[in-house]
Chain A
Amino acid sequence: MFDISLLSLTPPGWGATLLDGFANSLTLASGGYAIGLLLGTAGALGKLNGNAFFREALETYTTVVRAVPELVLILFLYYAGTDAMNRLLAALDIPAVDVGGLAAGISVIGIVQGAYSTEVLRGAILAVPYGQIEAAKAYGMSPLRILWRITLPAMLPFAIPGLANLWLIATKDTALLAVVGFRELALATRQAAGTTKDYMLFFTTAGAMYLALTIVSSLVIKMVERRVTRRLAVAHA
Protein backbone atom coordinates (compact mmCIF):
# COMPACT_ATOMS: atom_id res chain seq x y z
CA MET A 1 0.00 0.00 0.00
CA PHE A 2 2.79 2.41 0.94
CA ASP A 3 5.89 2.93 -1.15
CA ILE A 4 8.36 3.13 1.72
CA SER A 5 11.28 3.90 -0.61
CA LEU A 6 9.84 7.42 -0.97
CA LEU A 7 11.03 8.02 2.59
CA SER A 8 14.68 7.24 1.86
CA LEU A 9 17.17 9.98 2.67
CA THR A 10 18.64 10.25 -0.84
CA PRO A 11 16.94 12.27 -3.61
CA PRO A 12 14.21 10.17 -5.12
CA GLY A 13 13.15 9.77 -1.46
CA TRP A 14 11.89 12.69 0.60
CA GLY A 15 13.30 11.56 3.98
CA ALA A 16 15.91 14.31 4.09
CA THR A 17 13.28 16.99 3.38
CA LEU A 18 11.12 15.72 6.22
CA LEU A 19 14.04 15.54 8.66
CA ASP A 20 15.09 19.04 7.63
CA GLY A 21 11.56 20.28 8.30
CA PHE A 22 11.52 18.48 11.62
CA ALA A 23 14.81 20.14 12.61
CA ASN A 24 13.30 23.51 11.67
CA SER A 25 10.23 22.75 13.80
CA LEU A 26 12.44 21.84 16.75
CA THR A 27 14.48 25.03 16.38
CA LEU A 28 11.32 27.12 16.16
CA ALA A 29 9.78 25.44 19.18
CA SER A 30 12.84 25.62 21.42
CA GLY A 31 13.79 29.16 20.36
CA GLY A 32 10.23 30.40 20.71
CA TYR A 33 9.83 28.65 24.04
CA ALA A 34 13.03 30.23 25.41
CA ILE A 35 11.95 33.72 24.32
CA GLY A 36 8.51 33.01 25.75
CA LEU A 37 10.06 32.11 29.11
CA LEU A 38 12.08 35.33 29.18
CA LEU A 39 9.05 37.44 28.23
CA GLY A 40 6.95 35.47 30.69
CA THR A 41 9.33 36.03 33.60
CA ALA A 42 9.56 39.73 32.84
CA GLY A 43 5.79 39.89 32.33
CA ALA A 44 4.98 38.09 35.57
CA LEU A 45 7.33 40.29 37.60
CA GLY A 46 5.96 43.37 35.84
CA LYS A 47 2.39 42.37 36.57
CA LEU A 48 3.20 41.72 40.23
CA ASN A 49 5.55 44.63 40.96
CA GLY A 50 5.20 47.16 38.12
CA ASN A 51 3.42 50.49 38.22
CA ALA A 52 -0.15 50.97 37.01
CA PHE A 53 0.80 51.84 33.43
CA PHE A 54 3.06 48.81 33.09
CA ARG A 55 0.45 46.50 34.58
CA GLU A 56 -2.25 47.72 32.20
CA ALA A 57 0.04 47.32 29.21
CA LEU A 58 0.90 43.75 30.23
CA GLU A 59 -2.76 42.98 30.90
CA THR A 60 -3.62 44.13 27.37
CA TYR A 61 -0.80 42.00 25.92
CA THR A 62 -1.87 38.80 27.67
CA THR A 63 -5.60 39.36 27.08
CA VAL A 64 -5.28 40.12 23.37
CA VAL A 65 -2.85 37.28 22.66
CA ARG A 66 -5.07 34.81 24.48
CA ALA A 67 -8.28 36.00 22.78
CA VAL A 68 -7.01 36.00 19.18
CA PRO A 69 -6.36 32.72 17.31
CA GLU A 70 -2.68 31.78 17.06
CA LEU A 71 -2.97 31.64 13.28
CA VAL A 72 -4.13 35.26 13.12
CA LEU A 73 -1.38 36.36 15.52
CA ILE A 74 1.23 34.57 13.44
CA LEU A 75 0.00 36.23 10.26
CA PHE A 76 -0.11 39.57 12.02
CA LEU A 77 3.33 39.41 13.62
CA TYR A 78 4.92 37.81 10.58
CA TYR A 79 3.76 40.37 8.03
CA ALA A 80 2.77 43.46 9.97
CA GLY A 81 5.55 42.93 12.54
CA THR A 82 8.37 42.84 10.00
CA ASP A 83 6.82 45.74 8.07
CA ALA A 84 6.49 47.86 11.19
CA MET A 85 10.07 47.09 12.19
CA ASN A 86 11.44 48.13 8.82
CA ARG A 87 9.38 51.35 8.87
CA LEU A 88 10.77 52.10 12.31
CA LEU A 89 14.30 51.44 11.07
CA ALA A 90 13.67 53.67 8.04
CA ALA A 91 12.45 56.43 10.34
CA LEU A 92 15.71 56.13 12.26
CA ASP A 93 17.70 56.20 8.98
CA ILE A 94 18.88 52.65 9.38
CA PRO A 95 18.70 50.51 6.22
CA ALA A 96 15.94 47.90 6.23
CA VAL A 97 16.94 44.40 7.22
CA ASP A 98 15.51 41.25 5.74
CA VAL A 99 14.44 39.28 8.77
CA GLY A 100 14.87 35.63 7.87
CA GLY A 101 11.91 33.30 8.13
CA LEU A 102 13.48 31.46 11.03
CA ALA A 103 14.14 34.58 13.13
CA ALA A 104 10.66 35.94 12.41
CA GLY A 105 9.11 32.56 13.20
CA ILE A 106 10.97 32.22 16.50
CA SER A 107 9.94 35.74 17.56
CA VAL A 108 6.33 35.06 16.63
CA ILE A 109 6.15 31.82 18.63
CA GLY A 110 8.02 33.56 21.47
CA ILE A 111 5.60 36.48 21.66
CA VAL A 112 2.60 34.14 21.70
CA GLN A 113 4.20 31.87 24.30
CA GLY A 114 5.23 34.86 26.39
CA ALA A 115 1.62 35.81 27.06
CA TYR A 116 0.73 32.35 28.29
CA SER A 117 3.87 31.90 30.39
CA THR A 118 3.29 35.32 31.97
CA GLU A 119 0.07 33.93 33.43
CA VAL A 120 1.63 30.59 34.43
CA LEU A 121 4.59 32.22 36.16
CA ARG A 122 2.47 34.89 37.82
CA GLY A 123 0.31 32.19 39.37
CA ALA A 124 3.36 30.21 40.44
CA ILE A 125 5.04 33.23 42.07
CA LEU A 126 1.83 34.01 43.95
CA ALA A 127 1.82 30.42 45.24
CA VAL A 128 5.18 30.89 47.01
CA PRO A 129 4.47 31.34 50.73
CA TYR A 130 5.11 35.02 51.45
CA GLY A 131 6.93 34.15 54.67
CA GLN A 132 9.83 32.79 52.65
CA ILE A 133 10.29 36.11 50.85
CA GLU A 134 9.91 37.98 54.13
CA ALA A 135 12.56 35.79 55.67
CA ALA A 136 14.90 36.63 52.77
CA LYS A 137 14.21 40.32 53.28
CA ALA A 138 14.93 39.93 56.99
CA TYR A 139 18.31 38.47 56.03
CA GLY A 140 19.00 41.69 54.16
CA MET A 141 19.07 40.18 50.66
CA SER A 142 18.78 42.59 47.74
CA PRO A 143 15.61 42.31 45.60
CA LEU A 144 17.54 40.74 42.72
CA ARG A 145 19.12 38.22 45.02
CA ILE A 146 15.73 37.35 46.53
CA LEU A 147 14.43 36.77 43.02
CA TRP A 148 17.32 34.53 42.06
CA ARG A 149 17.80 32.63 45.30
CA ILE A 150 14.26 32.41 46.72
CA THR A 151 11.37 33.38 44.43
CA LEU A 152 12.41 31.64 41.21
CA PRO A 153 13.52 28.33 42.77
CA ALA A 154 10.56 28.26 45.15
CA MET A 155 7.97 28.89 42.45
CA LEU A 156 9.40 26.29 40.06
CA PRO A 157 7.40 23.28 41.36
CA PHE A 158 4.18 25.28 40.94
CA ALA A 159 5.13 26.40 37.44
CA ILE A 160 6.35 23.09 36.00
CA PRO A 161 2.95 21.59 34.99
CA GLY A 162 1.88 24.80 33.21
CA LEU A 163 5.27 25.32 31.57
CA ALA A 164 5.35 21.68 30.44
CA ASN A 165 1.96 22.15 28.83
CA LEU A 166 3.23 25.28 27.07
CA TRP A 167 6.17 23.35 25.60
CA LEU A 168 3.76 20.80 24.12
CA ILE A 169 1.67 23.66 22.71
CA ALA A 170 4.81 25.31 21.28
CA THR A 171 5.81 22.16 19.38
CA LYS A 172 2.37 21.98 17.78
CA ASP A 173 2.07 25.72 17.12
CA THR A 174 5.17 25.57 14.92
CA ALA A 175 2.98 23.85 12.30
CA LEU A 176 1.03 27.11 11.90
CA LEU A 177 4.08 28.74 10.33
CA ALA A 178 3.43 26.52 7.31
CA VAL A 179 0.63 28.98 6.49
CA VAL A 180 3.11 31.85 6.02
CA GLY A 181 5.30 29.64 3.85
CA PHE A 182 8.01 28.71 6.34
CA ARG A 183 9.19 25.19 5.60
CA GLU A 184 8.87 23.37 8.88
CA LEU A 185 7.67 19.78 9.15
CA ALA A 186 4.02 20.35 8.14
CA LEU A 187 4.86 22.32 4.98
CA ALA A 188 7.73 19.98 4.04
CA THR A 189 5.27 17.11 4.37
CA ARG A 190 2.68 18.82 2.25
CA GLN A 191 5.24 19.53 -0.48
CA ALA A 192 6.48 15.94 -0.45
CA ALA A 193 2.93 14.60 -0.49
CA GLY A 194 1.81 16.99 -3.22
CA THR A 195 4.73 16.07 -5.48
CA THR A 196 4.53 12.30 -5.07
CA LYS A 197 0.71 12.12 -4.62
CA ASP A 198 1.41 9.66 -1.80
CA TYR A 199 -0.49 11.78 0.74
CA MET A 200 -1.26 9.16 3.38
CA LEU A 201 2.33 7.90 3.60
CA PHE A 202 3.80 11.34 4.25
CA PHE A 203 1.10 12.65 6.55
CA THR A 204 1.25 9.45 8.63
CA THR A 205 5.03 9.71 8.86
CA ALA A 206 4.91 13.36 9.90
CA GLY A 207 2.20 12.56 12.43
CA ALA A 208 4.41 9.84 13.90
CA MET A 209 7.31 12.33 14.16
CA TYR A 210 5.19 14.90 16.02
CA LEU A 211 3.76 12.16 18.23
CA ALA A 212 7.24 10.84 19.03
CA LEU A 213 8.32 14.36 20.00
CA THR A 214 5.29 14.73 22.28
CA ILE A 215 5.82 11.34 23.92
CA VAL A 216 9.55 11.86 24.48
CA SER A 217 8.82 15.35 25.84
CA SER A 218 6.22 13.93 28.24
CA LEU A 219 8.72 11.39 29.57
CA VAL A 220 11.35 14.08 30.13
CA ILE A 221 8.75 16.33 31.76
CA LYS A 222 7.81 13.55 34.19
CA MET A 223 11.46 13.11 35.15
CA VAL A 224 11.96 16.84 35.66
CA GLU A 225 8.75 17.04 37.65
CA ARG A 226 9.85 14.24 39.95
CA ARG A 227 13.22 15.90 40.47
CA VAL A 228 11.85 19.36 41.17
CA THR A 229 9.11 18.27 43.54
CA ARG A 230 11.08 15.60 45.39
CA ARG A 231 11.64 17.72 48.49
CA LEU A 232 8.24 19.34 48.33
CA ALA A 233 5.52 17.42 50.12
CA VAL A 234 3.02 20.25 49.60
CA ALA A 235 3.06 20.07 45.82
CA HIS A 236 1.54 16.60 45.89
CA ALA A 237 -1.34 17.63 48.12
Chain B
Amino acid sequence: MLDDHTSAVVHEPSHRLMSLATPQALVKPALLVLFLALIGYYGEWNWIADYWRLLLHGIAVTLALLVSSSIIGFVLALLLGVFQVTGPRTLAWPAQAFCTIIRGTPLLLQLWMLYFGLGAVFAQYPEIRSSFVWPYLREAWPYALAALVFSFAGYVGEVMRGAFAGVPKGELEAARAFGMSRRKMFLRIWLPRAVQRVLPVLTGEVILQLKSTPLVATVTMTDVFAVVAKVRQDTYLTYEPLILLALIYVVLTAILARLLRLCEARVTGN
Protein backbone atom coordinates (compact mmCIF):
# COMPACT_ATOMS: atom_id res chain seq x y z
CA MET B 1 0.00 0.00 0.00
CA LEU B 2 2.77 2.33 0.97
CA ASP B 3 4.51 1.69 -2.36
CA ASP B 4 1.34 2.54 -4.23
CA HIS B 5 1.11 5.78 -2.41
CA THR B 6 4.68 6.91 -3.04
CA SER B 7 4.59 6.08 -6.73
CA ALA B 8 1.37 8.03 -7.09
CA VAL B 9 3.06 11.01 -5.50
CA VAL B 10 5.97 10.81 -7.93
CA HIS B 11 3.65 10.99 -10.91
CA GLU B 12 1.30 13.56 -9.48
CA PRO B 13 3.43 16.32 -7.99
CA SER B 14 1.80 17.70 -4.89
CA HIS B 15 2.73 21.29 -5.73
CA ARG B 16 0.50 21.06 -8.78
CA LEU B 17 -2.56 22.43 -7.02
CA MET B 18 -0.63 25.23 -5.40
CA SER B 19 1.05 26.26 -8.64
CA LEU B 20 -2.32 26.36 -10.35
CA ALA B 21 -3.25 29.19 -8.04
CA THR B 22 -0.39 31.48 -9.11
CA PRO B 23 -1.30 34.00 -11.82
CA GLN B 24 1.28 32.76 -14.36
CA ALA B 25 -0.04 29.21 -14.21
CA LEU B 26 -3.52 30.49 -15.11
CA VAL B 27 -2.31 31.99 -18.39
CA LYS B 28 -2.22 28.68 -20.26
CA PRO B 29 -5.72 27.42 -19.31
CA ALA B 30 -7.06 30.91 -19.93
CA LEU B 31 -5.53 30.97 -23.42
CA LEU B 32 -6.96 27.51 -24.11
CA VAL B 33 -10.43 28.64 -23.05
CA LEU B 34 -10.06 31.80 -25.16
CA PHE B 35 -8.98 29.71 -28.17
CA LEU B 36 -11.94 27.34 -27.78
CA ALA B 37 -14.33 30.27 -27.31
CA LEU B 38 -13.01 31.98 -30.45
CA ILE B 39 -13.31 28.93 -32.70
CA GLY B 40 -16.64 28.13 -31.09
CA TYR B 41 -17.96 31.62 -31.82
CA TYR B 42 -16.53 32.25 -35.27
CA GLY B 43 -16.69 28.67 -36.54
CA GLU B 44 -19.58 26.89 -38.19
CA TRP B 45 -20.59 24.14 -35.76
CA ASN B 46 -24.26 23.32 -36.34
CA TRP B 47 -23.32 20.17 -38.30
CA ILE B 48 -22.47 18.54 -34.98
CA ALA B 49 -26.21 18.16 -34.29
CA ASP B 50 -26.46 15.88 -37.34
CA TYR B 51 -23.25 13.99 -36.89
CA TRP B 52 -22.69 13.46 -33.17
CA ARG B 53 -24.02 9.89 -33.24
CA LEU B 54 -21.71 9.01 -36.12
CA LEU B 55 -18.82 10.70 -34.36
CA LEU B 56 -19.39 8.68 -31.19
CA HIS B 57 -19.66 5.53 -33.28
CA GLY B 58 -16.40 6.46 -35.00
CA ILE B 59 -14.65 6.97 -31.67
CA ALA B 60 -15.94 3.56 -30.53
CA VAL B 61 -14.55 1.93 -33.71
CA THR B 62 -11.19 3.65 -33.17
CA LEU B 63 -11.01 2.49 -29.55
CA ALA B 64 -12.16 -1.04 -30.39
CA LEU B 65 -9.43 -1.32 -33.02
CA LEU B 66 -6.85 0.11 -30.62
CA VAL B 67 -7.68 -2.27 -27.76
CA SER B 68 -8.07 -5.43 -29.83
CA SER B 69 -5.00 -4.84 -32.01
CA SER B 70 -2.84 -3.98 -28.97
CA ILE B 71 -3.85 -7.12 -27.05
CA ILE B 72 -3.55 -9.56 -29.97
CA GLY B 73 -0.42 -7.78 -31.18
CA PHE B 74 1.18 -8.04 -27.75
CA VAL B 75 0.62 -11.82 -27.60
CA LEU B 76 2.18 -12.14 -31.05
CA ALA B 77 5.03 -9.87 -29.94
CA LEU B 78 5.77 -12.14 -26.98
CA LEU B 79 6.19 -15.06 -29.37
CA LEU B 80 8.38 -12.97 -31.69
CA GLY B 81 10.53 -11.88 -28.75
CA VAL B 82 10.93 -15.38 -27.28
CA PHE B 83 11.65 -16.92 -30.68
CA GLN B 84 14.38 -14.40 -31.36
CA VAL B 85 16.04 -14.89 -27.97
CA THR B 86 15.86 -18.65 -27.39
CA GLY B 87 14.15 -20.15 -30.42
CA PRO B 88 15.87 -22.55 -32.82
CA ARG B 89 17.18 -20.88 -35.93
CA THR B 90 14.16 -22.02 -37.97
CA LEU B 91 11.96 -19.86 -35.71
CA ALA B 92 14.41 -17.09 -34.79
CA TRP B 93 15.20 -16.14 -38.36
CA PRO B 94 11.59 -15.73 -39.60
CA ALA B 95 10.73 -13.80 -36.44
CA GLN B 96 13.60 -11.41 -37.04
CA ALA B 97 12.71 -11.05 -40.72
CA PHE B 98 9.09 -10.29 -39.79
CA CYS B 99 10.13 -7.51 -37.40
CA THR B 100 12.55 -6.02 -39.94
CA ILE B 101 9.97 -5.99 -42.74
CA ILE B 102 7.21 -4.52 -40.59
CA ARG B 103 9.48 -1.83 -39.18
CA GLY B 104 11.07 -1.09 -42.54
CA THR B 105 7.93 -0.40 -44.60
CA PRO B 106 5.08 2.10 -44.13
CA LEU B 107 1.97 0.83 -42.37
CA LEU B 108 -0.19 2.34 -45.12
CA LEU B 109 1.51 0.09 -47.67
CA GLN B 110 1.08 -2.99 -45.45
CA LEU B 111 -2.58 -2.18 -44.99
CA TRP B 112 -3.18 -1.73 -48.71
CA MET B 113 -1.23 -4.88 -49.46
CA LEU B 114 -3.47 -6.89 -47.14
CA TYR B 115 -6.75 -5.26 -48.17
CA PHE B 116 -6.30 -4.86 -51.93
CA GLY B 117 -3.62 -7.49 -52.54
CA LEU B 118 -4.61 -10.34 -50.27
CA GLY B 119 -8.29 -9.51 -50.79
CA ALA B 120 -7.85 -9.97 -54.54
CA VAL B 121 -5.91 -13.20 -54.05
CA PHE B 122 -8.61 -14.63 -51.77
CA ALA B 123 -11.28 -13.79 -54.29
CA GLN B 124 -9.55 -15.94 -56.92
CA TYR B 125 -10.06 -19.18 -55.03
CA PRO B 126 -13.54 -20.72 -55.21
CA GLU B 127 -12.69 -22.83 -52.12
CA ILE B 128 -12.37 -19.62 -50.08
CA ARG B 129 -15.36 -17.96 -51.69
CA SER B 130 -17.61 -20.86 -50.74
CA SER B 131 -16.22 -21.29 -47.21
CA PHE B 132 -17.81 -19.92 -44.05
CA VAL B 133 -15.10 -17.25 -43.58
CA TRP B 134 -15.85 -15.54 -46.88
CA PRO B 135 -18.60 -13.22 -45.53
CA TYR B 136 -15.99 -11.86 -43.10
CA LEU B 137 -13.19 -11.70 -45.67
CA ARG B 138 -15.37 -9.48 -47.85
CA GLU B 139 -15.46 -6.84 -45.16
CA ALA B 140 -12.69 -4.38 -44.42
CA TRP B 141 -12.21 -4.90 -40.71
CA PRO B 142 -10.33 -8.24 -40.78
CA TYR B 143 -7.66 -6.65 -42.99
CA ALA B 144 -7.52 -3.44 -40.97
CA LEU B 145 -7.25 -5.38 -37.72
CA ALA B 146 -4.61 -7.71 -39.18
CA ALA B 147 -2.49 -4.80 -40.42
CA LEU B 148 -2.67 -3.05 -37.03
CA VAL B 149 -1.90 -6.32 -35.19
CA PHE B 150 1.13 -7.07 -37.38
CA SER B 151 2.42 -3.53 -37.04
CA PHE B 152 2.12 -3.53 -33.25
CA ALA B 153 3.66 -7.01 -33.06
CA GLY B 154 6.58 -5.98 -35.27
CA TYR B 155 7.55 -2.95 -33.19
CA VAL B 156 6.82 -4.51 -29.79
CA GLY B 157 8.44 -7.81 -30.81
CA GLU B 158 11.70 -5.94 -31.22
CA VAL B 159 11.21 -4.33 -27.79
CA MET B 160 10.43 -7.69 -26.17
CA ARG B 161 13.50 -9.30 -27.74
CA GLY B 162 15.64 -6.80 -25.86
CA ALA B 163 13.50 -7.17 -22.73
CA PHE B 164 13.77 -10.98 -22.62
CA ALA B 165 17.49 -10.84 -23.30
CA GLY B 166 17.92 -8.23 -20.56
CA VAL B 167 16.50 -10.22 -17.65
CA PRO B 168 19.49 -11.06 -15.41
CA LYS B 169 20.69 -14.64 -15.86
CA GLY B 170 20.91 -15.09 -12.08
CA GLU B 171 17.15 -14.73 -11.70
CA LEU B 172 16.50 -17.47 -14.23
CA GLU B 173 19.14 -19.67 -12.60
CA ALA B 174 17.50 -19.11 -9.23
CA ALA B 175 14.13 -20.14 -10.71
CA ARG B 176 15.72 -23.28 -12.10
CA ALA B 177 17.35 -23.98 -8.73
CA PHE B 178 13.91 -23.82 -7.16
CA GLY B 179 12.95 -26.65 -9.46
CA MET B 180 10.47 -24.64 -11.52
CA SER B 181 9.40 -26.17 -14.79
CA ARG B 182 10.23 -24.23 -17.96
CA ARG B 183 6.63 -23.13 -18.28
CA LYS B 184 6.40 -21.97 -14.71
CA MET B 185 9.75 -20.20 -14.96
CA PHE B 186 8.55 -18.34 -18.03
CA LEU B 187 5.20 -17.32 -16.54
CA ARG B 188 6.47 -16.47 -13.04
CA ILE B 189 9.91 -14.99 -13.64
CA TRP B 190 11.02 -14.39 -17.19
CA LEU B 191 7.84 -12.82 -18.64
CA PRO B 192 6.94 -10.57 -15.68
CA ARG B 193 10.51 -9.35 -15.23
CA ALA B 194 10.89 -8.64 -18.95
CA VAL B 195 7.57 -6.75 -19.14
CA GLN B 196 8.39 -4.77 -16.00
CA ARG B 197 11.67 -3.58 -17.47
CA VAL B 198 10.17 -2.19 -20.66
CA LEU B 199 6.79 -1.04 -19.36
CA PRO B 200 7.26 2.66 -20.23
CA VAL B 201 8.27 1.69 -23.79
CA LEU B 202 5.21 -0.57 -24.09
CA THR B 203 2.81 2.15 -22.96
CA GLY B 204 4.47 4.50 -25.44
CA GLU B 205 3.83 1.96 -28.19
CA VAL B 206 0.13 1.82 -27.28
CA ILE B 207 -0.12 5.59 -27.70
CA LEU B 208 1.68 5.35 -31.05
CA GLN B 209 -0.81 2.64 -32.00
CA LEU B 210 -3.70 5.03 -31.34
CA LYS B 211 -2.09 7.43 -33.79
CA SER B 212 -1.85 4.67 -36.41
CA THR B 213 -5.54 3.78 -36.31
CA PRO B 214 -6.83 6.55 -38.66
CA LEU B 215 -5.09 4.81 -41.57
CA VAL B 216 -7.90 2.24 -41.59
CA ALA B 217 -10.16 4.94 -43.00
CA THR B 218 -8.35 4.46 -46.34
CA VAL B 219 -9.81 0.95 -46.61
CA THR B 220 -13.43 2.04 -46.02
CA MET B 221 -13.62 1.55 -42.26
CA THR B 222 -15.68 4.23 -40.49
CA ASP B 223 -13.47 5.19 -37.56
CA VAL B 224 -13.59 8.73 -36.19
CA PHE B 225 -11.20 9.94 -38.91
CA ALA B 226 -13.48 8.61 -41.64
CA VAL B 227 -16.52 10.25 -40.04
CA VAL B 228 -14.78 13.62 -40.05
CA ALA B 229 -13.71 13.05 -43.67
CA LYS B 230 -17.39 12.52 -44.49
CA VAL B 231 -18.34 15.71 -42.64
CA ARG B 232 -15.72 17.57 -44.67
CA GLN B 233 -17.17 16.23 -47.91
CA ASP B 234 -20.77 16.97 -46.94
CA THR B 235 -20.26 20.47 -45.54
CA TYR B 236 -17.25 21.80 -47.50
CA LEU B 237 -15.84 23.18 -44.26
CA THR B 238 -12.04 23.47 -44.16
CA TYR B 239 -11.18 24.13 -40.54
CA GLU B 240 -13.92 23.11 -38.11
CA PRO B 241 -14.11 19.33 -38.66
CA LEU B 242 -10.32 19.00 -38.62
CA ILE B 243 -10.00 21.10 -35.46
CA LEU B 244 -12.59 18.90 -33.76
CA LEU B 245 -10.77 15.78 -34.97
CA ALA B 246 -7.44 17.04 -33.62
CA LEU B 247 -9.11 17.88 -30.29
CA ILE B 248 -10.66 14.40 -30.12
CA TYR B 249 -7.26 12.78 -30.61
CA VAL B 250 -5.57 15.09 -28.09
CA VAL B 251 -8.22 14.20 -25.50
CA LEU B 252 -8.03 10.47 -26.30
CA THR B 253 -4.22 10.58 -26.05
CA ALA B 254 -4.38 12.41 -22.72
CA ILE B 255 -6.89 9.95 -21.23
CA LEU B 256 -4.97 6.97 -22.57
CA ALA B 257 -1.68 8.32 -21.20
CA ARG B 258 -3.29 8.83 -17.79
CA LEU B 259 -4.77 5.30 -17.75
CA LEU B 260 -1.51 3.70 -18.85
CA ARG B 261 0.39 5.62 -16.18
CA LEU B 262 -2.01 4.26 -13.57
CA CYS B 263 -1.37 0.73 -14.84
CA GLU B 264 2.37 1.38 -14.76
CA ALA B 265 2.19 2.62 -11.17
CA ARG B 266 0.24 -0.49 -10.18
CA VAL B 267 2.63 -2.91 -11.84
CA THR B 268 5.82 -1.31 -10.58
CA GLY B 269 4.27 -0.74 -7.15
CA ASN B 270 3.65 -4.44 -6.60
Contacts and interface: CB of A to CB of B under 8 A. Distances in A.
Are A and B genuine complex partners?
yes
Interface of A: 52, 56, 64, 67-73, 75-76, 79-80, 83, 172-176, 178-179, 186, 189-190, 193-194, 197, 199-200, 203-204, 206-207, 210-211, 214-215
Given A67-B253, A199-B120, A189 B109 contact: yes
Interface stretch (B83-91, B190-198, B210-218): B210-218
Contacts of B106: 172-176, 186, 210
Contacts of A200: 113, 117-118, 120-121
14 contacts: A67-B254, A68-B249, A69-B225, A173-B106, A175-B107, A179-B108, A186-B109, A194-B116, A199-B113, A203-B112, A203-B113, A207-B110, A211-B101, A214-B103
Contacts of A76: 242, 246
B215 A207 contact: no
A178 B117 contact: no
Given A64-B246, A210-B105, A83 B238 contact: yes
B250 interface: yes
B104 interface: yes
Nearest to A175: B106
A193 B100 CA distance: 24
Given A68-B249, A69-B214, A75-B242, A210 B120 contact: no
Closest 3 CB pairs of A and B: A175-B106, A214-B104, A203-B113
Main secondary structure of the interface of B (DSSP, over half): helix
Given A72-B245, A175-B106, A190 B116 contact: yes
B236 to A, nearest CB: 11
B243 to A, nearest CB: 8
Nearest to A194: B116
Interface of B: 24, 27-28, 100-101, 103-110, 112-113, 116-118, 120-121, 210-215, 218, 225, 238-239, 242, 245-246, 249-250, 253-254
Contacts, number: 103
Contacts of A189: 109, 112
A83 B237 CA distance: 11
Contacts of A176: 106, 108, 215
B104 A215 contact: yes
Contacts of A203: 109, 112-113, 116-117
A178 B116 CA distance: 15
B242 A79 contact: yes
Nearest to A179: B218
Given A67-B249, A69-B212, A69-B213, A210 B104 contact: yes
B114 to A, nearest CB: 9
Contacts of B103: 214
Contacts of B253: 67-68
Nearest to A211: B104
A166 B261 CA distance: 25
Nearest to B106: A175
Contacts of B218: 179
Given A69-B210, A175-B107, 16 more contacts: A56-B27, A67-B249, A69-B213, A71-B214, A72-B249, A73-B246, A80-B239, A172-B107, A176-B108, A179-B218, A186-B109, A193-B117, A203-B117, A204-B113, A207-B113, A210-B109
A186 B249 contact: no
Contacts of A68: 211, 246, 249-250, 253
B109 A70 contact: no
A199 B116 contact: yes
A4 to B, nearest CB: 16
Contacts of A71: 214-215, 225
A24 to B, nearest CB: 14
Nearest to A190: B112
A72 B109 contact: no
A70 B116 CA distance: 23
A80 B246 CA distance: 13
Contacts of B214: 69, 71-72
B96 to A, nearest CB: 13
A175 B213 CA distance: 15
Given A52-B24, A193-B116, A69 B238 contact: no
Nearest to B249: A68
B27 to A, nearest CB: 8
B105 A178 contact: no
B133 to A, nearest CB: 20
Counting chain A CB atoms within 10 Å of each CB, the highest count among B24, B210, B242 belongs to: B242
